[in-house]
Amino acid sequence: MPEHEPCGPLDYGNLTVNLVRELMTRPAVSLPIPDRFAGPGVYALFYDGGYGPYASLRSPDAAQPIYVGKAVPPGGRKGGSAPDESEPVLYRRIGQHVPSLEAADNLRLADFKCRHLVVVPIWITMAERFLIEHYQPCWNVCIEGFGIHHPGSGRQASQRSWWDTLDPGRTWATNLQPRAREDAEARLRSFTTERQAIPETP
């Protein structure tokens, strides 16, 4: 930084560095997380399995996420009273991914680790955006759909996600309009080929 340039401790760049550092100091734990905890926040999932198309996404040291997400407290999406931070919303949100990973034909739950960070509610959405922009996780920006919920009845006209196309197994997804697996594989190849080197965690 130039000598006389003002420093904004809450500017976009500094928040990015601080959030990434803080999350990546948290232990990388197996799923499901055994110890229940309270609070909202953000999390990152890391893959270290043997599925061929994901070979370049493997992260044995849990340094490059395959997916990041968030959990906001009850009332956090609305105005009015202060959101309730006593609920284990982050713990529950991470737990919701376990059945999806177990259902996928080509994935093993044991091949995933998770880092999570309880965050003051006002920063949660921004923190998630920072992490996606910084790491460009495949399941957020290329093979999307991992984090979606069951779309419910009457939504059979919806198209199957790229994630459910490449990582099939969720029963409810078979009721959606299919995509070609070849297209999903081509999309992933393009992503892994063109992806620029990820900068090291600051």
CA distance 122 to 42: 12
Cis peptide before 151 (omega within 30 of 0): no
What is the model's pTM?
A: 0.86
Rounded Cα–Cα distance for residues 147 and 93 (Å): 9
Are 20 and 201 contacting, i.e. CB atoms less than 8 angstroms apart? yes
Q: Which amino acid is at 195?
A: R
Give the neighbor-by-neighbor strand order of the sheet with 112-118.
29-30, 112-118, 41-47, 67-71
* In the chain, domain spans: 12-149
- What is the residue-level pLDDT of the chain in tens, covering all 202 positions? 455 555 555 666 677 678 788 999 999 999 999 999 999 999 999 999 999 999 999 999 999 999 999 999 886 555 444 556 789 999 999 999 999 999 999 999 999 999 999 998 988 988 899 899 989 999 999 999 999 987 765 555 689 999 999 999 999 999 999 999 999 999 999 999 987 545 554 4
Cα angle for residues 47, 50, 56 (degrees, 5° grid) = 60
Report d(CA 9, CA 24) in Å as an integer.
20
Whether 169 and 103 have beta carbons less than 8 Å apart is answered as: yes
Q: Is the separation of the CB atoms in 29 and 2 below 8 Å?
A: no
SS3 73: coil
**Residue 193 φ/ψ, nearest 5 degrees:** -75, -45
